[in-house]
Amino acid sequence: MKLQRMNRRALTLGALAVSGALALTACGSDDTGSKSSGGGSSASAGVANTSSIKCDNAKGQLLADGSSAQKNAIDAWTAAFSQACQGVQINYKGSGSGAGVTAFTQGQLAFAGSDSALKPEDVEASKKVCTGGGQGIDLPMVGGPIAVGYNLPGVDNLVLDATTLAKIFNSDIKTWDDPAIKKLNPNAKLPSTKISAFHRSDESGTTDNFTKYLKAAAPSVWGKYSGGKAWQAPGGQSAPQSAGVAQQVKQTAGAIGYFELSYAKDMTTAAIDTGASSPVKPSTDAASKAIADAKVVGTGKDLALKLNYTTKADGAYPMVLVTYEIVCDKGNKADTLPATKAFLGYIASTDGQSILTQNSYAPIPDAIISKVRTTIEGLS
């Protein structure tokens, strides 16, 4: 009897503690939300967002998986979306683009996220899942600058161009006082420290996009590598995940590494000399400008982009990656279709895209995102 009472009391206490903690954390996230949006002009963004989301009686659970690069963006969207549409649960696991596409072509997901557009064989595989003659299509949703962070005390405004960057990352340039770097930075006091260039040790869409840039903008140096998600150039150091690379760069004097902009907090990043009037620092605006130069190369409803890495537009940061959401153009699963359309419709909307900059991502330029919106409306 006594024991039971004790148990019950413990239970109530536990329940109190849990609900209290939940209430507190809820307050906490509200606070930070209003703070971060208060910084910009959209102090009432949260409210406006929820009102603009159309739920259309969407219900159920959306399973999604894929690129870890866009995980933070999806999380932000999910938070806003599930406030408005209580009936929908979105579960996005960021296990990587490859895993996402594989799971999608096996019919496990409502949509997948990927750093690179579907390959022909993936499209072929998707036809089994998309019933009624449909196939998988790419919808560009999130852009992001790939920042080059470095650890060189006393040097704040490092400028690099594609060729120098390529030579640093394939070990042709070994010290920081190399003439090629000096020439781009005549006023900087460059030490004779050895360069430790860090790349990813795991296969990664960031590596894929970074080397695509090097291949396009510095073909004389990087042309001999085939590219892809695995790092190929000799030398240098490696670390797992963007977080690992960023941490190593912070820890190691003379280090340089590449990662998405959101990992470049408390770190100096290099500006890129693109041939424009002045070198461009990585920022979400600069990335959007570069994506605006991209061409849609997908056929039919597919909106895969071909980025222009050699853009010389003023203020355009050329080292960008675009992550896609992958769905069936026709033949999506009937029970998840309304929720999928509602969620994708929201993230492609003006409100959805405006959340991106708060999380160090770049919105997709208007010309392209408007095509995405029309495609989403036509999904069946």
Q: Give contact residues for other proteins (rule: CB under 8 A).
A: 95-99, 102, 194, 196, 201-205, 226, 228-232, 234-240, 244, 247-248, 251-252
Q: What is the closest distance, in whole angstroms, from the C-beta atom of residue 201 to other proteins in the complex?
A: 5
Q: What is the closest distance, in whole angstroms, from the C-beta atom of residue 151 to other proteins in the complex?
A: 11
Q: What is the closest distance, in whole angstroms, from the C-beta atom of residue 123 to other proteins in the complex?
A: 14
Q: What is the closest distance, in whole angstroms, from the C-beta atom of residue 214 to other proteins in the complex?
A: 16
| Cα dihedral 374/377/379/380 (nearest 10) | -150
Residue written as tokens 């330029």? 365
- Give the nearer residue to other proteins in terms of CB position, either 237 or 358: 237
Spatial separation of the C-alpha atoms in residues 319 and 322, rounded to whole Å? 10
- Give the nearer residue to other proteins in terms of CB position, either 102 or 269: 102
3-state SS, residue 182: helix
- Give the nearer residue to other proteins in terms of CB position, either 33 or 236: 236
**What b/e sequence results for 332-365 when a residue is b if at least 16 CB atoms lie within 10 Å of its CB, and e otherwise?**
beeebbbbbbbbbbbbbbebbbbbbbbbbbbbbb
In the chain, which ranges are continuous DSSP H helix? 2-39, 45-52, 71-84, 97-105, 120-129, 162-169, 179-184, 205-217, 219-222, 241-251, 284-291, 337-348, 350-356, 366-377
- Give the nearer residue to other proteins in terms of CB position, either 168 or 379: 168
Q: What is the closest distance, in whole angstroms, from the C-beta atom of residue 219 to other proteins in the complex?
A: 18
- Give the nearer residue to other proteins in terms of CB position, either 185 or 206: 206
- Give the nearer residue to other proteins in terms of CB position, either 199 or 341: 199
- As separate numbers, helices (DSSP H) first and strands (DSSP E) second, the chain gives 14, 13
Q: What is the closest distance, in whole angstroms, from the C-beta atom of residue 115 to other proteins in the complex?
A: 9
Q: What is the closest distance, in whole angstroms, from the C-beta atom of residue 223 to other proteins in the complex?
A: 15
Spatial separation of the C-alpha atoms in residues 138 and 276, rounded to whole Å? 31
- Give the nearer residue to other proteins in terms of CB position, either 213 or 231: 231
Residue written as tokens 């895993």? 99
